Structure 1
């Protein structure tokens, strides 16, 4: 195998915005992982599969080098030119370093797994982009603690989680203390797992209609889910039957539903249209 330590830089767009070409990791909003136990846990959560790995926001390689030891092809994506230059000097042959904006990066067109220590200020854009990419199978993400909890529907689901639940299964792994990073952030982080469902709860062709329905329910008027769903086209008899089947309390709110309850409510509402 030939060694591949070159840095690939997209030519269609500057790798960093004007004025940020020499910015360091902290200036780019990144808190670097320095806790070996956390790094080992992230690597352990990567599935044992024969497919490439993509690491977004690779920074200075705290995760890159342990991921490389899995023996799989790794693409490490980082916007900071100093970090990419350093990585290119130290990575083994199975790692390609790409200097790019993770919100514009073009990942492989075949199945792969993704790892990212998410820059906290980019959490929502990263998640929204990730959900629209077609080929990744598992994403292991380090995000702000409250974001990790919300996306895993711990204590209640958010609209973003509900809108993508039929196609992706989120899970909260653990809390990561702020002391695990340098510079130290003001809040703790969490490890969030996202798995693409092998059998989606809805066909992709129905995604747009389902997501409109979820948004209408989350934002719809009414005192409690029963009234909201009636206003979305379900009969009162259908709502009572649905609530019994999914153990939805009379005073429940949209954030209290699980993935299957959402899908069945949407299916019943669609039949009435």
Structure 2
């Protein structure tokens, strides 16, 4: 295969999935959804082929023009688009993808900020998948998105299940749009700024953090924490979506 105008597989951050249990798990998760599917980072078609067998409309997006051309020839029933996942419209109800490791954060941010998709089944670095799902402590990005999305860590994928083999394991992350948001959409911008303020505020305890982040008295900070149902010594990374919403409702 000729070299892509976008660079080789390393420049594209490509680690092609070969792990059959992971492929089967992703297809199983997708089969529980409905509607057209958009696959981002189709690569050599490891996921595209079984997705096509689901009998649904599949669009495969691939940046490398040579791989896109090869997929068009081998899978005529699939709409293959040569393009960039950072720009391509995310309009399909179901998004699937083995996300290039060097683009994980910008692609996840775009997924959570744009489009009208309902379900996203993505393969990312293991630590990223764990953090997004709140295992061992949540992240600011997850806390900001939690009123509108749920995150589920579905399976660990060993590094040897890719070619070329990356230096870290991967994880299958399922993101679903909530049918009813926990915070009104009109308050999304203000809520997002509130979460950022809490995550970046100084303080060695949650009351101190809330005091500085919200510009409220220590007493009101403690009342907000009690209202949110937070018990014991907690930090922002330890809060559940419901507790974040409780803090916001009390302090907004």
TM range (shorter): over 0.9
Instruction: Give the whole-Å Cα distance in 2 for the aligned partners of 1:47 and 1:260.
Output: 29
Q: Which residue of 1 aligns with 2:79?
A: 96
Q: Which residue of 2 aligns with 1:38?
A: 22
Alignment of 1:1-273 (within 5 A): 20-21=4-5, 23-93=7-77, 95-108=78-91, 112-231=93-212, 232-244=214-226, 246-270=228-252
Q: Deviations over 1:20-52 (max 9, x none)?
A: 516343441110011111111111011534410
Instruction: Give the whole-Å Cα distance in 1 for the aligned partners of 2:106 and 2:119.
Output: 18
Instruction: Give the whole-Å Cα distance in 2 for the aligned partners of 1:22 and 1:222.
Output: 45
**Contact kept? 1:233, 1:269, Cα under 8 Å:** no
CA RMSD of aligned residues (A): 1.8
Residue 96 of structure 1 and its aligned partner are, at CA, apart by: 0.1
Secondary structure, aligned partner of 1:175 = strand
Gaps of 5+ in 2: none
Q: TM-score, normalised by structure 1?
A: 0.86
**Contact kept? 1:234, 1:268, Cα under 8 Å:** no
Instruction: Give the whole-Å Cα distance in 1 for the aligned partners of 2:230 and 2:84.
Output: 43
Residue 242 of structure 1 and its aligned partner are, at CA, apart by: 4.2
Q: Which residue of 2 aligns with 1:7?
A: none
Instruction: Give the whole-Å Cα distance in 2 for the aligned partners of 1:50 and 1:222.
Output: 46
Instruction: Give the whole-Å Cα distance in 1 for the aligned partners of 2:80 and 2:169.
Output: 29
Instruction: Give the whole-Å Cα distance in 2 for the aligned partners of 1:194 and 1:145.
Output: 15
Secondary structure, aligned partner of 1:135 = coil
Q: TM-score, normalised by structure 2?
A: 0.93
Secondary structure, aligned partner of 2:95 = strand
Instruction: Give the whole-Å Cα distance in 2 for the aligned partners of 1:236 and 1:145.
Output: 38
**Contact kept? 2:63, 2:84, Cα under 8 Å:** yes
Residue 250 of structure 1 and its aligned partner are, at CA, apart by: 4.7
**Contact kept? 1:47, 1:138, Cα under 8 Å:** no
Residue 135 of structure 1 and its aligned partner are, at CA, apart by: 1.1
Q: Which sits farther off after the overlay, 231-240 or 37-46?
A: 231-240
| Residue correspondences, number | 249
Secondary structure, aligned partner of 2:90 = coil
Secondary structure, aligned partner of 1:106 = coil
Which structure dedicates a bigger proportion of its chain to helix? 2
Residue 198 of structure 1 and its aligned partner are, at CA, apart by: 0.6
**Contact kept? 1:202, 1:263, Cα under 8 Å:** yes
